[in-house]
Amino acid sequence: MPEGDAAGDLSAELLSSPVWTDAQLARAGIPVVDAPFVSIGGGMGSFVMVDLLRISGFPLENIKVLTTSDYPWENYEYLTGVGQLPPGYRIRSDSASTPDNIWGFPSYAVRAAFGARSVRGFIAPIWNVLTENLLTDYWTPLAGQVFQGMSREADRIGYWQTLAKGQARMVRRRAEGGYFSILTVEEGSTRRIAYRSSFVHLAVGYPSVRFLPDLQAYRRRYNDGYRFVNAYEPHEHVYDDLVKQPGTVLVRGGGITASAILHRLFNDRERLGAQTQVLHLMRTHVDSSHGPHVFMRRRGGDGWAYQGFNWPKASWGGQLKVRMEKLGDEERLRMWQTIKGTTTPYRKGWQKQLRKARADGCYRTLAGQIDHVDPGPDGTLATFIRERDSTGTRRIDVNFVIDATGLVGDITEHRVLADLLEYTGAERNGLGRLQVSPTFEVPGARHGDSRLYAAGATTEGSYYAPVDSLLGLQYAALTICDDLARLGFCRRIGPIRSISQWWKWMRNVTP
């Protein structure tokens, strides 16, 4: 049944008004639930926000998390899993990015050392963090260690009790003050519930997975989702097929997911005897270290741009962060253009594997872009590549194409965000995402003393660069918490509270 027609559903009147009254909701028959603080998403961003609120002393019953997920790391686990970084693999961020522990101490490396059952197991992570980036690669935790830590913290803070399961549909201003967030639910006597709150926090992750036009065109024309796949959709059949019979795969992209996919393909060659030939296509083929000047250079070579983390380290809490906050809009946008770009960490193990694969003749890089893809002979794909420095296209027949490029679609592909832009005064920033202030408030959506905040990938392009990272999400939560304390909504986490709460964390006691 279309929206606006059923009892207990969004009426035509509600759908078209930017500001709602309690009476309008009552007329539409939508039940209202009071929750002073509502977080929409229920992923890593919501989790760290609730964690901060609980540590600041905020009562559990005042928080609601509207989510489709059963647990906060569900989407992350899915994306890293299909992207070939399963729980037993090391994630990209370092030992101090601890979403389960706002103090960052004990870090994951220290915890791994004290959890080890051998002297070697104890020394290895400590030695690694002491010498990282000089003698060793950055020490990064296993994804499984991150999930375990979050599970313990979720239990400690009572996170599970905040969950309201369903699909958030929209956030609109409430005439009498605050906001209404509409949740569509599958079960129960009503289809929609309106959460009435003073504060809304949006942490919906990636607005959508971005399928590039060539992939969409191929699928539309040939109705084939088997051979040309996106790295962020399940595609285990590609690896299975390539183990069973020799084949050629074209991997597109130069980020960490492309690295992880190549690692998987070469592991399958080494361990399972696969005879796979790998063609690696990169639009920007980086031949050497690069950057505007000596202080902003990035290591690069063999096609890749190398960087430990997805943004320069100084943008988390160093001079780049401070500069971004002080720059005017145009200069800030120029800074974004300078520091953004697809990168992957330089890991000695991966480098060794790539060198071996090159020497064995099973790995080749190409600089260019796919023009289009058609079915080839014997169930193959004919890929037509526009190579760098060449005018025409070159045809290469392969068995599979794995597209590991950009994950983030346009923000209007997300219903809640599209609705915010249309009805609640939200605006886009220079990169086309959601504009937020340095306190992560969506400025156009302010409503009296009430605030609408946003965190995560949807806000990239505003004042803070690493928004889509575990530490960045924690920074956003801390900044929002401070803003709420200024508004008198929660207590500020000062030194004494911080120490006493850390001690509770250490003893695994409720905040």
Ligand X SMILES: Cc1cc2nc3c(=O)[nH]c(=O)nc-3n(C[C@H](O)[C@H](O)[C@H](O)COP(=O)(O)OP(=O)(O)OC[C@H]3O[C@@H](n4cnc5c(N)ncnc54)[C@H](O)[C@@H]3O)c2cc1C
Site residues (vs ligand X, CB under 6 A): 40-45, 66-69, 74-76, 79-80, 83, 91-93, 97, 167-168, 203-205, 257, 407, 416, 456-457, 468-470, 473
Give the residue with the Cβ less far from ligand X, 341 or 456.
Answer: 456
How many CB atoms lie under 10 A from the CB of residue 222?
14
Distance CA 487, CA 42 (A): 24
- Which long-range contacts does 212-218 make (Cβ < 8 Å, 24+ apart)? 212/403, 212/405, 212/406, 214/370, 214/371, 214/372, 214/373, 215/373, 215/403, 217/372, 218/372, 218/373, 218/374
Residue closer to ligand X, measured from CB, 42 or 300: 42
Instruction: Give the integer Cα–Cα distance in Å for 59 and 61.
Output: 6
Query: Rounded to the nearest whole angstrom, what is the least distance from the CB of residue 358 to ligand X in the complex?
Result: 25
Nearest-approach distance from CB 244 to ligand X, in angstroms: 27
Residues 339/331, Cβ–Cβ less than 8 Å: no
- The nearest distance, CB 95 to ligand X, in angstroms, is 11
The minimum distance between CB 333 and ligand X, in angstroms, equals 22
For ligand X, the closer CB: 91 or 250: 91
DSSP string of 392-430?
Answer: S-EEEEESEEEE----B--GGGSHHHHHHHHHS---B-T
- Beta bridge pairs of residue 285: none
CB of residue 184 vs ligand X: minimum separation in angstroms?
Answer: 8
For β-strands 163-165 and 277-282, DSSP reports them as unpaired
Closest to ligand X by CB, 94 or 483: 94
**Distance (Å, whole) CA 397 – CA 385:** 11
Rounded least distance, CB 456 to ligand X, Å: 3
As a residue count, the chain comes to 511
CA-CA-CA-CA torsion for 484, 485, 489, 494, nearest 10 degrees?
A: 130
Alpha-carbon separation of residue 476 from 47, 280, 316, 396 (angstroms): 12, 36, 11, 46
Measured from the CB atom, the residue of 366 and 454 that comes closer to ligand X is 454
Q: Which residue of this chain has its Cβ atom nearest to ligand X in the complex?
A: 43
DSSP 8-state code for residue 117: S
Nearest distance from residue 65's CB to ligand X, in Å? 9
Nearer to ligand X, 182 or 373 (CB): 182
Query: By C-beta, is 36 or 72 nearer to ligand X?
Result: 72
Give the integer Cα–Cα distance in Å for 275 and 277.
7
CB 46 → ligand X: shortest distance, Å? 6
Q: How many CB atoms lie within 10 A of CB 320?
A: 19
Nearer to ligand X, 39 or 450 (CB): 39
CB of 186 to ligand X, least distance (A): 12
Pick from 496, 493, 488: which is nearest to 474 by CA?
493
User: The tokens of 405 are what?
Assistant: 């490029």
d(CA 298, CA 275): 34
Closest to ligand X by CB, 102 vs 407, is 407
Computed from CA positions of residues 426, 431, 433, 437, in that sequence, does the dihedral angle turn out positive or negative?
negative
Residue in the structure block whose two tokens are 């943004």? 311
Shortest distance, position 449 Cβ to ligand X, whole Å: 26
CB of 492 to ligand X, least distance (A): 24
Residue 78 or 226: which CB sits closer to ligand X? 78
Closer to ligand X by Cβ: residue 274 or 472: 472
Nearer to ligand X by Cβ, of 204 and 324: the residue is: 204
Nearest approach in angstroms of CB 465 to ligand X is 12
Q: Which residues contact 441 (CB under 8 A, 6 or more apart)?
A: 451, 452, 453, 483
By DSSP bridging, strand 304-306 and strand 299-301 are antiparallel
